[in-house]
Structure 1
Amino acid sequence: MTSVNDPIADFLTRIRNAGLAKHDTVSIPHSKLKVELARILKEEGYIVDFEERGSRGPEREILITLKYTADGQRAISGLRRMSRPGRRVYRKQGTIPRVLDGLGVAILSTSHGVQTDHSARRMGVGGEVLCFVY
């Protein structure tokens, strides 16, 4: 098993590749942060569902069921990693970016947990901009 330096980029890449290949589901190594990212993707309507599988250790994974439109188009047309291990991106509440004028969503890691840009603005908090989803 190989070590991944940026697990969030790996998470986004696995979802992007599975969508391009028209897979129904994708399996991702488990972490609490990835579960929170999957929860937000489900709440925002980008995926059908997700399920945590395995008991503990390296066999633990998240199974994500991808969402497609009636004509087979992906619900997620784009995923973009913003903050990376080599270049962290932090924004105050007033400067949180809007993705495609509100059509997409920015996911932030805040002092109140992992949130969308909408909820972070509502709560008046800023944080690390993890990724854009549209």
Structure 2
Amino acid sequence: MKNHFWNMFTNVRNGQLAKRSFIYQKKIILCEAFLKILWDEGFIVGYKISKKNNDLIKIFLKYTYDGKPTINCMKLVTKPGRRVSYSIKQIWKIDSSKNFIIFSTNKGLKTINDCKRLKIGGEPFILIN
């Protein structure tokens, strides 16, 4: 199984290090759900399906006024060799003001604040500082 999330995270990180305004990523449903969360939370400017190739997504990267990327650090918490799952009690112990975590739940990809509001646990995919 290919880890498409890892490839997308690496592409975003490398694109921001190279000061690119946009990057291309292979179109996958889970990656689109992840991009929608990043867009809703203000980490990227936006994304759209490429006109030339319907299998690619064009991701527009966001920077601060002084040219620094909005995403400082992106870490993959759950890996194929090491699965981690948090209950709702464990999620409540995490400080959501310092870390932004995206969870894979039975209701789809949710942010840490959505998991607390809906009172559901899940598998943490990504940690953004």
- Residue from 3, 13, 18 that aligns with 1:16: 13
Aligned to 2:69: 74
**Pairs within 5 Å for 1:27-38:** 27-38=24-35
Flag the 1:122–1:55 CA change in 2: closer, same or farther, 3 A.
farther
> 1:52 is matched with which residue?
49
Percent identity between the two aligned chains: 29
SS at match of 1:114: strand
Verify the 8 A CA contact 1:27 1:62 in the aligned structure 2.
Answer: yes
1:108 equivalent in structure 2? 103
* Residue in 2 that maps onto 1:126: 121
Indicate conservation of the 8 Å contact 1:49/1:65, yes or no.
Answer: yes
State TM-score, norm by structure 1: 0.87
AA matched with 1:128: E
Structure 1 position 86, deviation (Å): 1.0
Where structure 1 has 5 or more consecutive residues not aligned to the other structure, the ranges are none
CA distance in 2, matches of 1:106, 1:131: 6
| Amino acid in the other structure paired with 1:53 | S
**Superposition CA RMSD, Å:** 1.9
User: Which stretches of structure 1, 4 residues or more, deviate above 4 A after TM superposition?
Assistant: none
Which of residues 51, 59, 63 is equivalent to 1:64?
Answer: 59
Shift of residue 70 of structure 1?
1.1
Aligned residues, how many?
128
TM-score of the superposed pair, with normalisation by structure 2? 0.91
Opposite residue 18 of structure 2, the aligned amino acid is A
Return closer, same or farther for 1:65/1:98 CA change in 2, 3 Å cut-off.
Answer: farther
Deviation for aligned residue 1:55: 8.7
